[in-house]
């Protein structure tokens, strides 16, 4: 839905204007309004209002006829908003007052009765929770799609060797599939963080009214059930002032973005001609306006950059809340833009990466040749000597000397012949060469969590089961 920017002002009175002797200035009106951005919660606002109205009728606080009028009016409003014909009005401050005012214009007094036993304070808290719940359900879906994309590529490359790095120095051989599975694990934890956040967010604030509860005989459990909440917020002051759920959401989103940003950094590095491990599909890259040869990994770079803005929103929300006394303060209206922007950034990033990953073209030859340049199987040689009875520290020392010899001769460990290798330890025999190959090194790490192709395939199967 596109965001409408209301400009129209009218002379009819604002919902709370009865107490005031002069209207607010246009600047103040604009400064205090939230309808520019909170109109995107209109579906949740109407859902919440309908559940509230049904409860009011059940409890005989309003009549059945009132409820019927409210339901008819709301159906009209839904149609108007969906058709882009709803007139969002700056004078009515926020999504809640805009909808309530239109309802009253459509159905008269029943519209004015809707706000019985309720405040915008518990209303907005309910709307955000409903909106966030819907949003998190969508995000879980996207996280799973990205995991599925990574699993697909990992399966294709369950046996493709690449250098594993520590300190960005060649460390030991891993398979590209194994490397990708690391991100599947991160995203799995991300999913569980959102599930956890959803569980705490899924409680009903309505009934708290402004802050202290209401004098009407309401049935909060009924409203909670109508709206699919697991229960009610237990304390009315907390119900209207708590924004922990928004902060938790931004924290969970920050971690997803951290993971995507690390992956982006790797993609950028791997795509650099100096490394040349992969290529990204053209539709995720852009050219340079001056250098005709360039193909830049703009999408991963932007994802890395947008991570900063999501962190900023988390810090913004924490700061927003830290000085607020109980209960509701207008400060809280500032929760929405960071929250919405965090969700939008995350959703777009996940969608684009789920599409980008299957299009990664792996240059296995470049990975293999990089593996011949960093003595990637040195640890395997040390382990070999240990298995022949040498204490590990001595084995480490012997192999380090062999590496220095290779450096001097500009060759790799398997390029030394048996006689030369035996200068470093007479325990070395001709079974050493299978140990020094990349395939031997990979296959030997054959335990849960290891990089052996058989283990990678088993890990893919387990991850698919979780999906
Ligand atoms: N627009 C407000 C918000 O987003 C709604 C609640 C306003 N309540 C109030 N007492 N002014 O937080």
162: helix, strand or coil: strand
- pTM here is 0.93
Residue with tokens 């387990």: 462
Centre of ligand 1 to C-alpha 119, Å, is 9
129-156 per-position pLDDT tens digit:
999 999 999 999 999 999 999 999 999 9
> Given this structure, which CATH class describes domain 372-466?
mainly alpha
* 186/244 Cα distance (integer angstroms): 23
Tell which atom from ligand 1 comes closest to the C-alpha of 34.
1
* 388/366 Cα distance (integer angstroms): 34
- The strand ranges marked E within 233-308 are 278-279
Centre of ligand 1 to C-alpha 336, Å, is 11
Candidate from 124, 212, 336 with most ligand 1 atoms within 8 A of CB, to mutate: 124
Domain 2-6+26-116 has CATH 1.10.275.10: yes
Q: Does pLDDT of 458 surpass 90? A: yes
58-111 per-position pLDDT tens digit:
999 999 999 999 999 999 999 999 999 999 999 999 999 999 999 999 999 999
96-137 per-position pLDDT tens digit:
999 999 999 999 999 999 999 999 999 999 999 999 999 999
Q: Does pLDDT of 10 surpass 60? A: no
Residue of the nearest CA to atom 2 in ligand 1?
333
Which residues of the chain are in CATH 1.10.40.30 domains?
372-466
> Given this structure, which CATH class describes domain 121-163+173-202+235-368?
mainly alpha
Residues identified as active-site: 167, 288
Residue with tokens 């969590």: 449
168-178 per-position pLDDT tens digit:
999 999 999 99
Q: The tokens of 460 are what?
A: 């893919």
Residue of the nearest CA to atom 4 in ligand 1?
333
Centre of ligand 1 to C-alpha 332, Å, is 7
* 104/114 Cα distance (integer angstroms): 9
Q: Does pLDDT of 356 surpass 60? A: yes
Supply the pLDDT for residue 1. 43
Which residues of the chain are in CATH 1.10.275.10 domains?
2-6+26-116
Cβ partners under 8 Å of residue 272, min gap 6: none
Candidate from 38, 93, 121 with most ligand 1 atoms within 8 A of CB, to mutate: 121
Q: Which residues' Cβ are closer than 6 Å to ligand 1?
A: 34, 38, 94, 120-121, 124, 328, 330, 332-333
Higher per-residue pLDDT: 439 or 20: 439
* 344/459 Cα distance (integer angstroms): 32
Q: Does pLDDT of 247 surpass 70? A: yes
Supply the pLDDT for residue 313. 98
3: helix, strand or coil: coil
* 383/371 Cα distance (integer angstroms): 19
Q: Does pLDDT of 6 surpass 90? A: no
376-387 per-position pLDDT tens digit:
999 999 999 999
Centre of ligand 1 to C-alpha 170, Å, is 56
401-442 per-position pLDDT tens digit:
999 999 999 999 999 999 999 999 999 999 999 999 999 999
Averaged over 240-253, what is the pLDDT? 98
């Amino acid at each position: 839905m596109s965001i409408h920017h209301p400009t129209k002002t009218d002379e009819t009175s604002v919902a709370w204007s009865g107490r005031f002797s002069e209207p607010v200035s246009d600047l103040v009106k604009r400064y205090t309004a939230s309808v520019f951005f909170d109109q995107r919660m209109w579906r949740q606002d109407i859902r919440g209002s309908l559940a509230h109205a049904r409860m009011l009728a059940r409890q005989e606080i309003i009549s059945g006829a009132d409820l019927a009028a409210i339901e008819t009016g709301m159906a009209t409003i839904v149609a108007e908003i969906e058709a882009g014909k709803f007139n969002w009005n700056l004078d009515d401050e926020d999504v809640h007052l805009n909808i309530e005012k239109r309802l009253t214009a459509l159905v008269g007094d029943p519209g004015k009765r809707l706000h019985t036993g309720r405040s915008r304070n518990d209303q907005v808290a309910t709307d955000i929770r409903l909106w966030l719940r819907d949003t998190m359900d969508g995000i879980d879906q996207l996280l799973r799609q990205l995991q599925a994309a990574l699993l697909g590529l990992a399966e294709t490359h369950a046996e493709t060797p690449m250098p594993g790095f520590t300190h960005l120095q060649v460390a030991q051989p891993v398979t590209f599939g194994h490397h990708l599975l690391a991100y599947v694990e991160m995203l799995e934890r991300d999913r569980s963080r959102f599930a956890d956040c959803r569980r705490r967010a899924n409680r009903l604030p309505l009934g708290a009214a402004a802050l202290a509860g209401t004098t009407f005989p309401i049935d909060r459990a009924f409203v909670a059930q109508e709206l699919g909440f697991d229960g009610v917020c237990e304390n009315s002051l907390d119900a209207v002032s708590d924004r922990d759920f928004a902060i938790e959401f931004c924290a969970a989103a920050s971690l997803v973005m951290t993971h995507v940003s690390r992956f982006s950094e790797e993609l950028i590095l791997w795509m650099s001609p100096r490394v040349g491990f992969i290529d990204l599909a053209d539709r995720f890259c852009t050219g340079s306006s001056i250098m005709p040869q360039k193909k830049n990994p703009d999408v991963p770079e932007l994802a890395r950059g947008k991570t900063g803005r999501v962190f900023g929103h988390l810090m913004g929300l924490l700061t927003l809340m830290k000085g607020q006394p109980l209960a509701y303060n207008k400060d809280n209206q500032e929760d929405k833009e960071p929250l919405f922007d965090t969700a939008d950034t995350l959703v777009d990033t996940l969608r684009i990466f789920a599409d980008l990953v299957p299009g990664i073209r792996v240059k296995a030859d470049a990975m293999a040749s990089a593996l011949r340049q960093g003595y990637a199987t040195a640890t395997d040689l040390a382990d070999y000597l240990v298995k022949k009875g040498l204490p590990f520290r001595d084995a480490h020392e012997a192999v380090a000397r062999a590496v220095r010899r290779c450096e001097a001769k500009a060759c790799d460990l398997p390029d030394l012949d048996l006689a030369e290798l035996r200068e470093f330890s007479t325990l070395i025999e001709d079974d050493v060469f299978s140990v020094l190959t990349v395939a031997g090194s990979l296959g030997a790490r054959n335990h849960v969590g290891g990089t052996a192709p058989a283990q990678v395939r088993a890990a893919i199967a387990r991850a698919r089961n979780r999906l």
